[in-house]
Chain A
Amino acid sequence: MSVPSREDLIDFVYAEARMLDEGRFDDWLGLWAPDGYYWMPLDPDAENPKLVTALMYEDAYLRKLRVERLNGARTFSQKPRSRCHHVLQRPFIDAFDAENGVFVTTTPFHYVEARLDEQFLLAATARHELVLDGGALRIRLKRVDLLNPEAAFGNIQLFL
């Protein structure tokens, strides 16, 4: 595509969440621009993700590490595996810059992660900065703001 439609942007956000929920992590890794970052701040006011602790700030290498670790024989905290489930609100389209090929959506969502007999619920908002790369939409930044990043959590093992 040369210019995506608004529906293309919304479909992209939904398709991304579906890949995570269905455990299609290799497909998910393919959604990213080469210089893309996944960012989950700890401090909601943080402007520089590098100079203050974040919950996650992951480039292509770290995202791949997280996905490949899931396949390991000795990945003890993932024996058995976790599963996740997203319920998305319809994404807001906050920027639609066709000229520069940059598009921004904001999507409030609920996320459930389950393993063994337990599950937990997180409320969060995802901000996607999408770019056109070889005619396809790719993620340059996915920023996930938890409703309560300051709270104490147990293991959060998958991508929100």
Chain B
Amino acid sequence: MSRYADNPAAVRALVRPAEVHRDVYVDAEIFDLEMKHLFANTWVFVGHDSQVPNPGDYFTTEIGRQPIVMVRHQDGEIHVLYNRCAHKGTKLVIDRTGNTGKFFRCPYHAWTYKTDGGRLGMPLRKGYDGTRLEESQSGNDLARVGGVRNYRGFVFARLSREGPDFESFFGESLSSIDNMVDRSPEGRLEVAGPPLRYMHRCNWKMLVENQTDTCHPMVAHESSAGTAVRIWEESRPAPDAPKPMAIQVIAPFMSSYEFFEKMGIRTWPNGHGHTGVHHSIHSDYSEIPGYFDQMKAAYGEDRARAILGENRHNTVYFPNIMVKGPIQQLRIFIPLAADKTLVESYIYRLVGAPDMLLERTAMYNRLINAPTSIVGHDDLEMYERAQEGLMADGLEWVNVQRLLEEDEDHDTVAVGNGTTERQMRNQFNAWVKYMTVSMKGADL
């Protein structure tokens, strides 16, 4: 029996100011509704345009449950299309990436389409003479998503034809992507290799919430970061010996509560927010020789200092990506089922910057976010224990109360203590909005 479909009041009742009902993480119907509503109504990250550098290059993915292909057309424009032949439904391309040339040719009956989705033709066309094919969906173009925006290389799409435009959905939160791109002396990023792909048997929202959970690192990661610090201290050749890159990357996970409290959290409307307003675990990396001079030459000294002085930790772009500007990393939390999430972690090269920056970025990605990462292992252990623990009937609510203020207004920008759970509350506020806005009876 359906409890939540077209029942916005029931969906709203799952989110209280200080807590959320476990059904948001475990209920299969809620997951189906997220796919139908939330992932259609929001701007979802598709890919980076450097993944398709040449005309005809494509990248296949999903938005919610929808098969999608991002493709570069002959004129250089990026198009985001449903990966579905208008004829019988066959996926036009199946590889993760490839080049389709000037057109898509369906492997089933050879119907063809331009790389902007426009229909071209099919063999034995005269078999359709007089059948009024052009009046059916199949006689027309490939289906296009409701909206596409390439923002400084990052391609987002909204499935729904209606809803907020890109700028009003993301607003000032785009400053984190700006900072990441501005760190290239040429203002340009390029994807560096394939993403890490890490399967999690837990709900996707647990991962998104963890991005601004600053009370877990020193607890969950004691075994990795704590041991890393201890081995370094025992083997350090001299008290002032410079820390190797690996120590610089891992050790800050053991920072004190005070460090995380003072780092600050900023929240933006529509569920976006970031940790590391004042400083972050990325603030104390050693300088890379030659880099500042390149930045100074490109931007002037003041602007270069301002760009590099921004050390945001994790920026969540609701609903399901996280961006690390100082590391040039993007992680996407791909929902597969209520209890199954695929995490893909991409890194980018700062075009025109020294290779050593990319070396640190690649090291961060493998040491922290790989399925072989000792940091990731303990995170996944926590998520999976939570997914199992939530089945306990003794308690049905999950707490998001830390540093809750009276009458929080998530439609305004707020900056607070770095251990607040306000960003989690901000996400759930947006979750309710984009889950229910397209439901029948939403205005009631």
Given known A53-B365, A55-B370, contact A43–B194 (CB-CB < 8 A): yes
The answer to whether A62 touches B193 (Cβ under 8 A) is: no
* Nearest-CB residue, chain A, relative to B219: A74
* Nearest-CB residue, chain B, relative to A154: B199
Given known A50-B362, A72-B222, contact A66–B374 (CB-CB < 8 A): yes
Q: How far is the CA of A74 from the CA of B227 in the complex (A)?
A: 10
The answer to whether A77 touches B381 (Cβ under 8 A) is: yes
Return chain B residues, CB-CB under 8 Å to A156.
Answer: 371-372
B273 is an interface residue with CB less than 8 A from chain A: no
The answer to whether B223 touches A69 (Cβ under 8 A) is: yes
Return chain A residues, CB-CB under 8 Å to B358.
Answer: 51
Query: B355-380 interface mask toward A, CB cutoff 8 Å, 1 = contact, 0 = none?
Result: 10011001101110011101011101
Given known A57-B366, A61-B246, A65-B227, contact A153–B194 (CB-CB < 8 A): no
The answer to whether B199 touches A153 (Cβ under 8 A) is: yes
Question: Which residues in window 102-160 of A have CB below 8 A to B?
Answer: 150-157
The answer to whether B377 touches A74 (Cβ under 8 A) is: no
Return chain A residues, CB-CB under 8 Å to B197.
Answer: 150-153
B342 is an interface residue with CB less than 8 A from chain A: yes
B201 is an interface residue with CB less than 8 A from chain A: yes
Return chain A residues, CB-CB under 8 Å to B342.
Answer: 152
Return chain A residues, CB-CB under 8 Å to B359.
Answer: 50-51
Query: A23-50 interface mask toward B, CB cutoff 8 Å, 1 = contact, 0 = none?
Result: 0000000000000000010110010001
The answer to whether A56 touches B378 (Cβ under 8 A) is: no
Question: Which residues in window 183-209 of B have CB below 8 A to A?
Answer: 192-201
Interface size on A, residues (CB 8 A): 34
B392 is an interface residue with CB less than 8 A from chain A: no
Given known A42-B194, A53-B193, A155-B380, contact A69–B372 (CB-CB < 8 A): no
B289 is an interface residue with CB less than 8 A from chain A: no
Given known A51-B362, A55-B372, A156-B372, contact A65–B224 (CB-CB < 8 A): yes
A68 is an interface residue with CB less than 8 A from chain B: yes
Among B193, B223, B244, which residue has the most Cβ atoms of chain A within 10 A? B223
Q: How far is the CA of A72 from the CA of B229 in the complex (A)?
A: 13
B415 is an interface residue with CB less than 8 A from chain A: no
The answer to whether A53 touches B362 (Cβ under 8 A) is: yes
Return chain A residues, CB-CB under 8 Å to B371.
Answer: 55, 152-156
Please tell me the size bucket of the interface on B.
35 or more
The answer to whether A56 touches B366 (Cβ under 8 A) is: yes
* Nearest-CB residue, chain A, relative to B220: A76
Contact of B193 among A43, A57, A69 (CB under 8 A): A43
Return chain A residues, CB-CB under 8 Å to B220.
Answer: 76
The answer to whether A75 touches B223 (Cβ under 8 A) is: yes
The answer to whether B194 touches A150 (Cβ under 8 A) is: yes
A93 is an interface residue with CB less than 8 A from chain B: no
Return chain A residues, CB-CB under 8 Å to B232.
Answer: 61
Return chain B residues, CB-CB under 8 Å to A54.
Answer: 362, 366
The answer to whether A42 touches B196 (Cβ under 8 A) is: yes
Given known A46-B193, A53-B193, contact A68–B227 (CB-CB < 8 A): yes
B231 is an interface residue with CB less than 8 A from chain A: yes
B347 is an interface residue with CB less than 8 A from chain A: yes
Q: How far is the CB of B189 from chain A (nearest CB, A)?
A: 15
* Nearest-CB residue, chain B, relative to A152: B197
A64 is an interface residue with CB less than 8 A from chain B: yes
Q: How far is the CA of A42 from the CA of B363 in the complex (A)?
A: 13
A52 is an interface residue with CB less than 8 A from chain B: yes
The answer to whether B366 touches A155 (Cβ under 8 A) is: no
Given A54-B362, A65-B224, A154-B201, 19 other A-B residues pairs in contact with their CB atoms under 8 A: A42-B194, A52-B192, A52-B193, A53-B192, A53-B193, A55-B196, A56-B366, A57-B363, A61-B244, A62-B246, A65-B374, A69-B224, A74-B222, A76-B223, A77-B377, A150-B96, A152-B197, A152-B198, A157-B377
| A–B complex contacts, Cβ < 8 Å, 28 sampled | A40-B372, A42-B193, A43-B193, A43-B194, A50-B362, A50-B363, A51-B355, A53-B366, A54-B366, A55-B371, A56-B372, A57-B366, A61-B244, A62-B367, A65-B224, A65-B374, A69-B223, A69-B374, A78-B223, A150-B96, A152-B197, A152-B199, A153-B197, A153-B199, A153-B371, A154-B198, A154-B371, A156-B372
Chain B residues within 8 Å of A, Cβ to Cβ: 96, 192-201, 220, 222-224, 226-228, 231-232, 235, 244, 246, 342, 345, 347, 355, 358-359, 362-363, 365-367, 370-372, 374, 376-378, 380-382
Chain A residues within 8 Å of B, Cβ to Cβ: 40, 42-43, 46, 50-57, 59, 61-62, 64-66, 68-69, 72, 74-78, 150-157
Closest 7 CB pairs between A and B?
Answer: A52-B193, A75-B223, A152-B197, A77-B377, A77-B381, A153-B371, A152-B199
